[in-house]
């Protein structure tokens, strides 16, 4: 096994307990939590809130298959923008400071999300409507990638090592909470603004509300960072002119093996997440014969249950170690997650609560690995290149899983479309277990090492 690439000495933050430092720690952690919530809210908005309004952006005579491809590409454009943002803002955060990079990224999220809320439709500008939507989602992805690339290392560097697992779980639990909020908001808006045609109330106005709300949330987080969040202690000193480029160190230097290892780990984790979020609703709806309202209610329950497991997962990784956690979680995903998806894919006529239970198990297991991911991924790289290593390692692995729909088609030809999501979940789980096995234990590293 490889060993940690930076000093394993006791973390200085564990021995100093001055009140002003405690306040700074709480503010930095709160910034990481609310910043990640805004990030995840913005990620899920087009998947849920925009879906009933796609007729507003495309020609009315467009086939259902083509419309589905366009909708998928809108989501994929955001994912493809995130590695670009990780490169840009990772270097900026390592060179000039985490706080400055975070503020710029959040400001970009606020502006691009509001611009999306103001977009005209196909009836006004033709195909430019969907082209502008895709372009803005790509740009938004750049800023989203920049936000977590800078804000999460900032939060983790302020957190004592004995609390990093819990802090990571508190940050990442906002992902299912954001999904839950958007689902409820969209359900409410669909009751107020009827949907169904390009000139329906929801298509004209309703979908804009979540995007406008996302922009306002970003503005609130921006104000919070400007007023309250201090720079990380490890980055308060300006880097020397002789400091190596973070990108060069990551791809050509001593840390390229670390990048490869976390790439394998995160590729597995992202693959499982994509399958879970996109195929589970359809599988559960078919297995339980649910209406759209029942399905939304079921997804809210599953999201709330899974959110509660994130801090617990972080604590488990703190108690037993990050490496055993990811090996065990990968196997759990392959066996339990894949098995539950297989049951849902082949079942019919299940009762509502039976379906909710299976959906909750599959959803919780499928995204459990994200609990300690903020801690683990920042612990894998030294201070001088932590933001770059974390951001690129976390985001670059998004690219291959982004094309999961094509993998499902290939697996469907081998095992059948009903079992394809389960098969891809097994592959993702095994990749995550392999990635965890290839890496070192990191929970005791000094986050302030050079």
Residue ranges per structural domain of the chain: 20-232, 246-450
- In the CATH scheme, what is the homologous superfamily, with its name and number, of domain 20-232? MFS general substrate transporter like domains (1.20.1250.20)
Q: Is the pLDDT of residue 70 over 80?
A: no
Task: Please tell me what DSSP assigns to residue 229.
Answer: P
Give one word for 407, left, alpha or beta, with left for phi > 0 and alpha for psi -120 to 50: alpha
Least confident of 266-270, 404-408, 421-425: 404-408
Alpha helices of 97-237 — where are they, by DSSP H?
Answer: 98-117, 122-125, 128-158, 164-172, 174-192, 201, 208-228
Q: How confident is the model at residue 162 (pLDDT cuts 50, 70, 90)?
A: very high
Rounded Cα distance between 311 and 45, Å, is 24
Q: What is the pLDDT of residues 233-246, one digit of tens each?
A: 665 554 444 467 88
What one-character-per-residue DSSP string does 52-90 give? Answer: GGGGGTS-TT--HHHHHHHHHHHHHHHHHHHHHHHHHHH
Percentage of the chain beyond pLDDT 70 is: 91
Token match 């298959």: residue? 65
252 Cβ partners below 8 Å, 6+ apart?
none
3-state secondary structure of 398: coil
Write down the residue that tokens 């939304």 correspond to: 296
* Tens digits of residue pLDDT in 138-150: 999 999 999 999 9
pTM of the entire structure?
0.85
Question: Which tokens is 159 given?
Answer: 């957190």
Q: Do domains 20-232 and 246-450 have the same CATH topology?
A: yes
Confidence of residue 325 (pLDDT cuts 50, 70, 90): very high
Q: Which residues contact 260 (CB under 8 A, 6 or more apart)?
A: none
What is the third-level CATH fold of 246-450? Growth Hormone; Chain: A; (1.20.1250)
Q: Do the Cβ atoms of 449 and 280 come closer than 8 Å?
A: no
pLDDT digits (tens, 9 = 90+) for 351-391: 889 989 999 999 999 989 999 999 999 999 998 899 999 99
Q: At what angle do helices 98-117 and 64-96 cross, to 10 degrees?
A: 150
Q: What are the structure tokens assigned to 167, written together?
A: 């802090």
> Has residue 291 got a pLDDT over 90?
no
């Amino acid at each position: 096994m490889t060993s940690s690439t930076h000093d394993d000495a006791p973390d200085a933050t564990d021995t100093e307990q001055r009140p002003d430092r405690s306040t700074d720690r709480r503010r930095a952690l709160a910034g990481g939590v609310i910043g990640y919530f805004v990030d995840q809210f913005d990620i899920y908005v087009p998947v849920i809130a925009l879906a009933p309004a796609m007729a507003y952006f495309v020609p009315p005579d467009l086939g259902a298959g083509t419309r589905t491809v366009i909708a998928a590409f809108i989501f994929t454009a955001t994912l493809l923008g995130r590695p670009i943002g990780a490169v840009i803002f990772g270097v900026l955060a390592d060179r000039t400071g985490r706080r400055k990079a975070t503020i710029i990224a959040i400001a970009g999220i606020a502006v691009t999300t509001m611009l999306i809320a103001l977009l005209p439709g196909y009836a006004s500008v033709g195909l430019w409507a969907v082209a502008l939507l895709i372009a803005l989602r790509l740009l938004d992805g750049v800023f989203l990638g920049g936000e977590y690339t800078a804000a999460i290392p900032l939060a983790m560097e302020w957190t004592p090592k004995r609390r990093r697992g819990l802090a990571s779980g508190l940050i990442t639990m906002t992902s299912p909470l954001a999904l839950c909020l958007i689902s409820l908001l969209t359900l409410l808006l669909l009751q107020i603004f009827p949907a169904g045609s390009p000139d329906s109330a929801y298509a004209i106005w309703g979908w804009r509300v979540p995007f406008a709300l996302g922009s306002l949330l970003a503005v609130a987080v921006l104000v919070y960072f400007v007023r309250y969040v201090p720079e990380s202690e490890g980055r308060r000193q300006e880097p020397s002119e002789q400091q190596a480029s973070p990108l060069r160190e990551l791809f050509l230097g001593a840390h390229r093996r670390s990048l490869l290892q976390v790439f394998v780990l995160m590729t597995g984790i992202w693959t499982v997440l994509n399958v879970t979020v996109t195929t589970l609703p359809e599988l559960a709806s078919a297995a339980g014969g649910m209406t759209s309202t029942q399905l939304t209610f079921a997804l809210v329950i599953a999201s709330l249950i899974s959110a509660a497991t994130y801090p617990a997962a972080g604590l488990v990784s703190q108690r037993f170690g990050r490496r055993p956690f990811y090996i065990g979680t990968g196997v759990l995903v392959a066996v339990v997650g894949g098995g539950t998806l297989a049951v849902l894919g082949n079942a019919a006529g299940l009762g509502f609560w039976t379906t909710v239970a299976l959906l909750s198990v599959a959803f919780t297991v499928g995204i459990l690995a994200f609990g300690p991911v903020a801690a683990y991924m920042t612990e894998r790289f030294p201070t001088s290149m932590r933001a770059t290593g974390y951001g690129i390692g976390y985001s670059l692995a998004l690219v291959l899983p982004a094309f999961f729909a094509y993998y499902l088609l290939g697996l469907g030809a081998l095992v059948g479309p009903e079992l394809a999501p389960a098969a891809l979940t097994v592959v993702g789980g095994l990749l995550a277990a392999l990635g965890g096995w290839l890496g070192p234990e990191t929970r005791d590293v000094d986050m302030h090492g050079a």
